[in-house]
Structure 1
Amino acid sequence: MSDKAQTVWNKLAELPKPTLAELFANDPDRLLKLASRLDLGEEGIRFDWSKTHLDDAHLEKFLELAEATGFRARRDALFAGAVVNPTEGRAAEHTAQRGVGKEESVEQALGYHSRMAAMVEAIHRGAMGDVKHLIHVGIGGSALGPALAVDALARDGAMVDVHVVSNIDGAALEAAFKTCDPATTMLAVASKTFTTIETMTNAESALDWLRENGVDDPYGRVVALTASPERAIEWGVDETRILPFAESVGGRYSLWSSIGFPVALALGWPDFAEMLEGAAIVDRHFRDADPAENLPLRAAFADQFYARLRGCQTRAVFAYDERLALMPDYLQQLEMESNGKSVTMEGKPVDGPTAPITWGGVGTDAQHAVFQLLHQGTHIVPVDFIASIAPGHELDLAHHRILLSNCFAQGAALMAGKSSDDPARAYPGDRPSTTILLDEVSPVSFGALIAFHEHRTFANAVLMEINPFDQFGVELGKEIAKQIDKGGASFDPSTEALLELAGIG
């Protein structure tokens, strides 16, 4: 950590830390200061950090930390398409996919989007035959984003039935086969390098399934989503059915590129374009807003407060909306793969905690599973509640009223607690939460919500002086798996015994 940043951290650590009840009692304007609305045209999102322990003094020092760690310069570099991933010598140009970034990169993204839109519209018109199903194979960012978006936005009236398969376990692919008709199924193969072993193995098996079920030209059913089109051609995909994206778009930030093809196919291109615009609104806010008013940066201040100053090792996310059930899974990769690092941008050891463990679930199910620990356990876990004012169903509004009542009640209960003469029935309270409240779950608000978390992740990385855009930690296990597959390598006695029991090697 730089000397400037360390000095600010030392000052932050020395500040008093009042309870949440004291913070509200001492500042009648607290809600006005810490709750903000992001306008998205006819709808919006409300962010409420008032139930966190941030106060004026901490916000002032965190703004000093942002200055000490070069927040403005690193933000400018991100949007300029400069190298912000020094270990791999790359830019990170996911915002250009939304029309915000370096001019040449934005133009390239528009070209790729036009190509994808034409293919989506051709499929919907029937130009590629009767297409009712799409099996999308990918892994990591090539699967988590599409799976979340399709589940959130395409539950009703999907134009094409989409199945996202990521796991190499054949049971996952078989489950998709059971619900799809081979005669009306297309296959999307999503891999940046077109070499990812899990994805390519699943793709080969899907081709076999098509072939075995009477499809004469299975490769004619394939669409490739890749930054390596030449490899897709070598694998057998016709050039006209390859949707490229830029090498500077990282996997976990790639939903906005051709990796979003299954989303556009399920929703239709106009809705996908609205999703891009929702994200672009957040891009422009993050790029242009003063740090004191910058919403992703403020979220990062809260994250750093709990991870570093309070020693919280986890952060919980609970979606009080069934359509956002996959949100915790998506954020696990976004946050932990980006910021789960132990060295700074300069390659020096980090002298404090970086990314907390992200976990969560769906309300109200989670209330009957894990909230016992949140309310009365020994761990202090900052919680994000995500909900929508408008319901995602047409049933009796009592369903949604009870859902939102529980969401808001949990935040209130975590803060207030409850005393009791019986220790087993006492709640300590003073436990933090943030509420993110959408007017409705729509393509615009969904795009904005995801982009907000992308920039929140980047802002956290800046404050910690780390690189959020590489992920070398995922490679070692893969390398050893390849050694096992090739045979001839020796391992520790435990691993050797497991291999023998499983009949491997």
Structure 2
Amino acid sequence: MGYTGSLTQSAAWKDLQEHYSRISDHHMRDWFNEDPNRFDTFQLEAAGLTLDYSKNRITEDTMSLLLSLAREQDLPAKIGAMFNGETINRSENRPALHTALRNFGDRDIMVDGENIMPEIRETVHRMEEFCWKIRRNQWRGYTNKPFTDVVSIGIGGSFLGPKLASSALKPYWDSRLNIHYLANIDGSHITEILKRLDPATTLFIIQSKSFGTQETLKNANACRQWFLDNGGTEGDLCKHFTAVSSNVEKATAFGISEENIFPMWDWVGGRYSLWSAIGLPLALAIGIDNFRDLLRGAYLMDEHFRTAPLEHNMPVIMALLGVWYVNFFGVNSHAILPYDHYLRSLPAHLQQLDMESNGKSVTIDGSKVNYNTGPVIWGGVGTNGQHAFHQLLHQGTHFSPCDFIMPMNSHNPIDNFHAMLVSNCLSQSQALLQGKSEDEAIEELVASGMSKAEAMVLAPHKVIPGNRPSNTLYFPKSTPQVVGALIALYEHKVAAQGMLWDVNSFDQWGVELGKKLGNKVLDALESQSAPDGFDGSTNGLINAFHRMQKLL
């Protein structure tokens, strides 16, 4: 075993602090001028993806020191423990085995002495049969019409991952099926979905491990009542409602046939559940063969993460760069910038994946950390962001490292649209790197016809510091296999960062507290008596709710 004391007291950490003090003021422009091979030096390929990380505030010495930190923190052993099914989620006494869901190898994976691979493969086979029946019109609604719409009811990981993959793979959808995702507990959301649907041709998939998640169950019951109010009967429910849940008793009481209930397992966290039967709406949309290709892409990234040396390991390199910025530069946010309309849901998925995983302030053994952990994840799609928040990226008082994500080919080639899109992506990362000095701004303004005096007044407003880091992830096209590899890459990057910070990336107790308090607040909102037992602000807001409800 390696170093087991406080992270900040490790030899590698102290070496990195000293190294940071020497290079933190250096400009990446100079490093590119000095080294014509920098692009080749800081580039990796894995599972169909290529990572250019040359536009980072690093030297080869930086990477060597970061890799030393990874070895001191026993990162290879921790990665192995995850894949071997050890109980790495200690606060919940569980392994984290989402990788088993896409295991195309012949390795047995054991949980409590039992090989879980046969049950996983059987579930995929059941998903295949289910998809075949729906897509071939063998399973129809209560009026014998084929299904035209599928509504997936879930929240958190049961919503964000499938929604991302569904959007990313829209070119592969069966045009006969429309997929809708219902998550938010908001009357406007469910109303806008249901008013466009015909209950006779709509299939519902309820996604809840416990079959008791407040938001999911509320939406599910509303959909059930809508179905009954618009022509369906209790006996017809089994034709229109299915579930992904471990609570078979509650799902059957709802009206779902047991053969239409797909399993969920404790060793799969919600934000990693896309690869399980939670991905059923996606499989219906794109077909089981494309769904298997998604799994295969994730498996290829799994094998890369599991076996590649640290210095050539894409998720590890990305994790180390994150530690470098968060813990040594004091950065507190990271931007995800996909230049692909179909990947527009990626920032939202990665918000949950990263912030729910590494938004922690104690180590695995319960000790309070004395260093920063997960950053705020944010972002937006393509050139839209350039006309919105990129201003802060270029000229703000603090910097946010960026991941530019870009397919080199479009599913919908029109004129030179895609070349223009790629040019915007490349020019943004170039501008973040290079910036513009005051002298350059003055020269540019004078060349445009402005007097030197006027130029000197305006120039400070046009100065862009540059030296702002970014990664560029690129690939030939957004295929199912590539999308699977991309999502798995970020899963492993987040896990590796958690391992480096010695936090549990697989629990989310902060989320649980909000759920418990929400139930108490709901009771007070539905009561006509004055609230009691809350803080003054919450009491006041509950009273305001009561007051304003009476006004309408």
State the TM-score, normalizing by the size of structure 2. Answer: 0.88
Tell me whether 1:466 sits opposite 2:503 in the alignment. yes
Q: Which residue number corresponds to residue 489 of structure 2?
A: 452
Deviations 1:235-283 (A, max 9, x none): 3321011011222111000000000000000001000000000000000
Deviations 1:39-75 (A, max 9, x none): x4xxx22111000112211111111111111111111
TM-superposed deviation, 1:493: 1.8
Quick one: distance in 1 between partners of 2:164 and 2:7?
A: 40
Q: Which residue number corresponds to residue 193 of structure 1?
A: 210
Which of residues 20, 24, 28 in structure 2 aligns to 1:20? 28
Q: Which residue number corresponds to residue 150 of structure 1?
A: 166
Q: Is the 1:312–1:380 contact (alpha carbons within 8 Å) kept by the matching residues of 2?
A: yes
TM-superposed deviation, 1:180: 1.9
TM-superposed deviation, 1:102: 4.4
TM-superposed deviation, 1:3: 4.2
Describe how 1:153-164 pairs up with structure 2 within 5 A.
153-155=169-171, 157-158=173-174, 159-164=176-181
- The one-letter code of the counterpart of 1:479 is K
Deviations 1:77-117 (A, max 9, x none): 11111101000000011000001664322222111111111
- The one-letter code of the counterpart of 1:459 is A
Q: Is the 1:278–1:443 contact (alpha carbons within 8 Å) kept by the matching residues of 2?
A: yes
Q: Which residue number corresponds to residue 406 of structure 1?
A: 424
Q: Is the 2:404–2:471 contact (alpha carbons within 8 Å) kept by the matching residues of 1?
A: yes
- The one-letter code of the counterpart of 2:494 is T
Which of residues 397, 419, 440 in structure 1 aligns to 2:477? 440
- The one-letter code of the counterpart of 2:474 is L
Tell me whether 1:107 sits opposite 2:150 in the alignment. no
Distance change (3 Å), C-alpha of 1:353 and 1:102 = farther
Quick one: distance in 2 between partners of 1:102 and 1:295?
A: 25
Q: Secondary structure at the match of 1:499?
A: helix
Describe how 1:34-73 pairs up with structure 2 within 5 A.
34-38=42-46, 40=47, 44-73=48-77
Deviates more, 1:478-487 or 1:90-99: 478-487
TM-superposed deviation, 1:497: 1.4
Tell me whether 1:498 sits opposite 2:541 in the alignment. yes
Tell me whether 1:184 sits opposite 2:201 in the alignment. yes
Quick one: distance in 2 between partners of 1:156 and 1:78?
A: 32
Quick one: distance in 1 between partners of 2:130 and 2:227?
A: 21
Quick one: distance in 1 between partners of 2:263 and 2:515?
A: 25
Distance change (3 Å), C-alpha of 1:333 and 1:4 = closer
- The one-letter code of the counterpart of 2:195 is K
Which structure is larger by alpha-carbon Rg, 1 or 2? 2
Describe how 1:240-389 pairs up with structure 2 within 5 A.
240-389=259-408
TM-superposed deviation, 1:164: 0.6
Q: Is the 1:5–1:68 contact (alpha carbons within 8 Å) kept by the matching residues of 2?
A: no
TM-superposed deviation, 1:218: 2.7
Deviates more, 1:292-301 or 1:54-63: 54-63
Q: Secondary structure at the match of 2:335?
A: strand
TM-superposed deviation, 1:489: 4.5
Q: Secondary structure at the match of 2:296?
A: helix
TM-superposed deviation, 1:155: 4.5
Q: Which residue number corresponds to residue 456 of structure 2?
A: none
Q: Which residue number corresponds to residue 78 of structure 1?
A: 82
Tell me whether 1:126 sits opposite 2:137 in the alignment. yes
Q: Is the 1:93–1:105 contact (alpha carbons within 8 Å) kept by the matching residues of 2?
A: no
Q: Is the 1:137–1:199 contact (alpha carbons within 8 Å) kept by the matching residues of 2?
A: yes
Quick one: distance in 1 between partners of 2:346 and 2:532?
A: 39
Q: Name the count of aligned residue pairs.
A: 500
Q: Is the 2:98–2:272 contact (alpha carbons within 8 Å) kept by the matching residues of 1?
A: yes
TM-superposed deviation, 1:496: 1.1
Tell me whether 1:97 sits opposite 2:98 in the alignment. no
TM-superposed deviation, 1:224: 0.4
- The one-letter code of the counterpart of 1:471 is Q
Quick one: distance in 2 between partners of 1:413 and 1:111?
A: 51
TM-superposed deviation, 1:394: 3.8
Gaps of 5+ in 2: 110-114, 141-145, 443-458, 525-530
Quick one: distance in 2 between partners of 1:189 and 1:120?
A: 16
Quick one: distance in 2 between partners of 1:227 and 1:294?
A: 35
- The one-letter code of the counterpart of 2:31 is L
Q: Is the 1:136–1:162 contact (alpha carbons within 8 Å) kept by the matching residues of 2?
A: yes
Q: Which residue number corresponds to residue 41 of structure 2?
A: 33
Q: Which residue number corresponds to residue 135 of structure 1?
A: 151
Deviates more, 1:227-236 or 1:66-75: 227-236
TM-superposed deviation, 1:171: 1.0
Which of residues 452, 457, 465 in structure 2 aligns to 1:428? 465
State the TM-score, normalizing by the size of structure 1. Answer: 0.96
Query: Percent of aligned pairs with the same residue?
Result: 38
Q: Secondary structure at the match of 1:168?
A: coil
Quick one: distance in 1 between partners of 2:390 and 2:6?
A: 40
Q: Is the 1:323–1:392 contact (alpha carbons within 8 Å) kept by the matching residues of 2?
A: no
